[in-house]
Structure 1
Amino acid sequence: MQSAATTPNQYIAELPHDRKEAMQKLRETILLNLPKGFEETMQYGMLSYVVPHNIYPDGYHCKPSDALPFVSIASQKNNISLYHSGIYADPELLEWFKAEYPKHAKGKLDMGKSCIRFKNVDNIPFELVGQLTTKISVAQWIEIYERVLKKQ
């Protein structure tokens, strides 16, 4: 479910009551831990944290007019989703996250290539999300992106 919101605050304001608090806390967790240089915006109908064009003018290879995506969060029909491009592109980071998840969360990890799905808002491991957010700097993300993803 993509939102038509044009700002992060508008996105949060339009959420159903049962998702608003968890999404706001997830947003705050990311913003508190996001390395310098990433920027919060709306992209693809989600709250997104990107490398802006003033740092990486090439933009996203699939659509160069878009800033280079790094992390996005969205309230979907059946879950809250966290999309983290780093765990998709960096196998070591993915393994770290998989190993840490059971230490911070109840239940089984539900994820795809870059998408972590939280069906129960009470089981979002905010501390772990904060740690994950700190793991890659802008410079590291650009290097990983160019080495692993841009070629595809």
Structure 2
Amino acid sequence: MNIDGYIESIDDRWKAAFSNTWKTISHTLPDGFTTEMQHGIPTYVVPKEKYPEGYHVDNEALPFIGVAAHKRHLAIYHMGIYRNEQLYEWFTDEHPKHMKTKLDMGKSCIRFSNPDKIPYELIGKLSGKMTVDEWIELYESRKS
């Protein structure tokens, strides 16, 4: 399945929220990331041309941000927030300034259960905070 096919398959309840989230990230993400389907969801990645080593788990392009519309929530999988404690702290501090609801977050997964209450401005700020080169450097630091 390609990204357009994924969007077509989304439940109507989540389609607009997914599209707006995807567009927000696309407009604020620094240059150099590309898109592809990884693990069944649309994902912004560091292309293999830029980072030939790829992701150590499956040798695909290095994933950065994936977006998925599930039955009960919209999920943003941000690998940089998982690896960068300062970015994680920034996001958790900023969230209450944009949302009245409690943050529903795992290590890399940010979940939103109401399609009408997605903090697009916050998502845009988050997606613009790390360049391709910064993400590669952070990813490489896992080896040390």
TM range (shorter): over 0.9
Aligned to 1:132: 126
- Normalised to the residue count of structure 1, the TM-score between the two structures is 0.92
Q: How many Å separate the matches in 2 of 1:9 and 1:35?
A: 22
Amino acid at match of 1:40: T
Contact 1:106 1:123 in 2 (8 A): no
Aligned to 2:15: 20
> How many Å apart are 1:82 and its aligned residue?
0.4
Amino acid at match of 1:37: G
List, as ranges, runs of 4+ consecutive aligned residues in structure 1 with deviation greater than 2 Å: none
- The structure showing larger relative contact order (alpha-carbon pairs under 8 Å, at least 6 residues apart) is 2
RMSD, aligned α-carbons: 1.1
| Post-superposition CA distance 1:33-55 (Å, at most 9, x none) | 11111001111111100001000
Q: Report the secondary structure of 2:104's partner residue.
A: coil
Which 5+ residue runs of structure 2 have no aligned equivalent? none
Q: How many residues align?
A: 144
Matched, 1:29 2:24: yes
Which residue of the other structure, out of 84, 92, 113, is the alignment partner of 1:90? 84
- Normalised to the residue count of structure 2, the TM-score between the two structures is 0.97
| Post-superposition CA distance 1:93-125 (Å, at most 9, x none) | 000000100111120000001000101111210
Q: How many Å separate the matches in 2 of 1:27 and 1:9?
A: 12
